[in-house]
Amino acid sequence: MSDCVICLENVTKTYRMGEIEVNALAGVSMRIRRGEAVAIMGPSGSGKSTLMNILGCLDRPTSGRYELDGETVETLNDDALAAIRNRKVGFVFQSFNLLGRATALANVELPLRYAGMRKGRRERATLTLESVGLGDRIRHRPTELSGGQQQRVAIARALVNEPAMVLADEPTGNLDSRSGAEILQLLMQLNRERGTTLIVVTHDSSVAAKTQRVIRLRDGLIEAEYVPGSEPA
Amino acid sequence: MFLAQNLLEALESLTSNKLRSGLTMLGIVIGVAAVIAMLSVGQGASASITGAINEIGTNLIFVIPGGQEDVTVTRPLTMGDARAIADPLQAPSVLLVAPMIQSRVDVTVGGQSHSTQLQAVTADYQQVRNVTLSDGEFINDDQVLGRASVVVLGSDVADNLFGTTVGLVGETVRLQGQPFRIIGVEESKGGSGFASQDDHVTIPLTTAQARFTAQRGGAPDRLDMILAQSVTTEAVPQAVTEIEEILRLRHRVQVGKDDFTTFKQQDILQTAAQITGVLTIFLGGIAAISLLVGGIGIMNIMLVSVTERTREIGLRKALGARRRDILIQFLTESATLSLAGGIIGILLGWFLAWAVGQIATATGNDFTPVVGVDSILLATIFSAAVGLFFGIYPASRAASLQPVEALRYE
- A217: alpha, beta or left? (left if phi > 0; alpha if psi -120 to 50): beta
Note whether B320 contacts A97, CB cutoff 8 Å: no
Cα dihedral A154, A155, A156, A157 in deg (nearest 10): 50
The predicted structure's pLDDT at residue A200? 95
- A67: alpha, beta or left? (left if phi > 0; alpha if psi -120 to 50): beta
* Complete edge-to-edge strand list for the sheet that includes strand A221-226: A89-92, A165-169, A197-201, A37-41, A213-218, A221-226
- Name the DSSP letter for residue A106: H
Residues of B in contact with A111 (CB under 8 A): 319-320
Whether B311 contacts chain A with CB within 8 A: yes
The predicted structure's pLDDT at residue A17? 82
Q: How far apart are CA B222 and CA B125, in angstroms?
A: 17
Strands, E assignment, A119-212: 165-169, 197-201
- A162: alpha, beta or left? (left if phi > 0; alpha if psi -120 to 50): left
Note whether B5 contacts A113, CB cutoff 8 Å: yes
- Name the DSSP letter for residue A196: -
Residue B372: pLDDT band with limits 50, 70, 90: confident
Residue A44: pLDDT band with limits 50, 70, 90: confident
Note whether B322 contacts A157, CB cutoff 8 Å: no
Residues of A in contact with B319 (CB under 8 A): 85-86, 91, 110-111, 114, 157
**A58, A83, A87 member nearest B403 (Cβ):** A58
**B12, B322, B323 member nearest A101 (Cβ):** B12
Note whether A99 contacts B2, CB cutoff 8 Å: no
| In chain A, residues 194-233 whose CB comes closer than 8 Å to chain B | none
Average pLDDT of the segment spanning A158-178? 93
Note whether A115 contacts B320, CB cutoff 8 Å: yes
| In chain B, residues 3-32 whose CB comes closer than 8 Å to chain A | 5, 12-13, 16
Average pLDDT of the segment spanning B14-19? 88
State chain A's mean pLDDT as an integer: 92
Note whether A99 contacts B312, CB cutoff 8 Å: yes
Whether B159 contacts chain A with CB within 8 A: no
The predicted structure's pLDDT at residue B371? 82
Q: How far apart are CA A102 and CA A157, in angstroms?
A: 13
Note whether A111 contacts B319, CB cutoff 8 Å: yes
Q: What is the pLDDT of residues B337-358, one digit of tens each?
A: 998 999 999 999 999 989 988 8
Tell me how far apart the terminal alpha carbons of chain B are, to the nearest angstrom: 28
The predicted structure's pLDDT at residue B40? 87
- Name the DSSP letter for residue A144: G
Q: What is the pLDDT of residues A77-130, one digit of tens each?
A: 999 999 999 999 999 999 999 998 889 999 999 999 999 888 899 999 999 999
Nearest CA in chain B to A84: B320
Whether A86 contacts chain B with CB within 8 A: yes
Whether B234 contacts chain A with CB within 8 A: no
**Is residue A2 over pLDDT 70?**
no
Whether A97 contacts chain B with CB within 8 A: yes
Q: How far is A79 from chain B (nearest CA, A)?
A: 5
Nearest CA in chain A to B400: A78
Q: Answer for the pair B118, B260: CB distance below 8 angstroms, yes or no.
A: no
**Is residue B397 over pLDDT 80?**
yes
Q: What is the pLDDT of residues A53-64, one digit of tens each?
A: 999 999 999 999
Note whether A91 contacts B318, CB cutoff 8 Å: yes
* Ranges A3-12, B73-82, B119-128: which has the least confidence: B73-82
Tell me how far apart the terminal alpha carbons of chain A are, to the nearest angstrom: 31
Residues of A in contact with B2 (CB under 8 A): 118
Residue B190: pLDDT band with limits 50, 70, 90: low
Note whether A79 contacts B1, CB cutoff 8 Å: no
Whether A113 contacts chain B with CB within 8 A: yes
Residue A1: pLDDT band with limits 50, 70, 90: very low
Q: Answer for the pair B293, B59: CB distance below 8 angstroms, yes or no.
A: no
The predicted structure's pLDDT at residue B72? 64
Phi, psi for B119 (deg, rounded to 5): -115, 125
Whether A102 contacts chain B with CB within 8 A: yes
For A35-61+77-226, the fitting CATH number among 3.30.300.30, 3.40.50.1820, 3.10.20.30, 3.40.50.300 is: 3.40.50.300
- Name the DSSP letter for residue A81: H
**A78, A101, A157 member nearest B323 (Cβ):** A78
**B2, B16, B319 member nearest A114 (Cβ):** B319
Note whether A97 contacts B315, CB cutoff 8 Å: yes
**Is residue B62 over pLDDT 70?**
yes
Of all helices (H) and strands (E), which one includes residue A84? Answer: helix A78-88
Q: What is the pLDDT of residues B239-283, one digit of tens each?
A: 999 999 999 889 888 777 788 888 888 888 888 888 888 988 888
Nearest CA in chain A to B322: A79
Residues of B in contact with A99 (CB under 8 A): 312, 315
Note whether B319 contacts A157, CB cutoff 8 Å: yes
3-state secondary structure labels for all residues of chain B: CCHHHHHHHHHHHHHCCHHHHHHHHHHHHHHHHHHHHHHHHHHHHHHHHHHHHHHCCCCEEEEEECCCCCCCCCCCEEHHHHHHHHCCCCCCCEEEEEEEEEEEEEEEECCEEEEEEEEEECCCHHHHCCCCEEEECCCCHHHHHCCCCEEEECHHHHHHHHCCCCCCCCCEEEECCEEEEEEEEECCCCCCHHHCCCCEEEEEHHHHHHHHHHHHCCCCCEECEEEEEECCCCCHHHHHHHHHHHHHHHHCCCCCCCCEEEEEHHHHHHHHHHHHHHHHHHHHHHHHHHHHHHHHHHHHHHHHHHHHCHHHHHHHHHCCCCHHHHHHHHHHHHHHHHHHHHHHHHHHHHHHHHHHHHHHHHCCCCCCCCCCHHHHHHHHHHHHHHHHHHHHHHHHHHHCCCHHHHHHCC
Q: Write the CA distances from B375 to B37, B205, B280, integer angstroms.
A: 9, 49, 12
**A97, A101, A113 member nearest B16 (Cβ):** A101
* Inter-chain contacts counted by CB atoms under 8 A, chains A and B: 61
The predicted structure's pLDDT at residue B172? 92
**Is residue B134 over pLDDT 80?**
yes
Whether A192 contacts chain B with CB within 8 A: no
The predicted structure's pLDDT at residue A54? 94
Query: Angle B3-15/B323-362 helices, nearest 10 degrees?
Result: 70
Phi, psi for B303 (deg, rounded to 5): -65, -45
Whether A141 contacts chain B with CB within 8 A: no
How many CA atoms within 13 Å lie on the side-chain side of B349?
32
Note whether B12 contacts A59, CB cutoff 8 Å: no
Q: What is the pLDDT of residues A181-222, one digit of tens each?
A: 999 999 999 999 988 999 999 988 889 999 999 999 999 999
Residues of A in contact with B323 (CB under 8 A): 78-79, 82
Maximum distance among all alpha carbons in chain B? 104
Residues of A in contact with B321 (CB under 8 A): 82, 114
Chain centre to alpha carbon of residue B299: 37
Mutate to test the interface with A, among B319, B323, B400 (most CBs of A within 10 A): B319
State chain B's mean pLDDT as an integer: 87
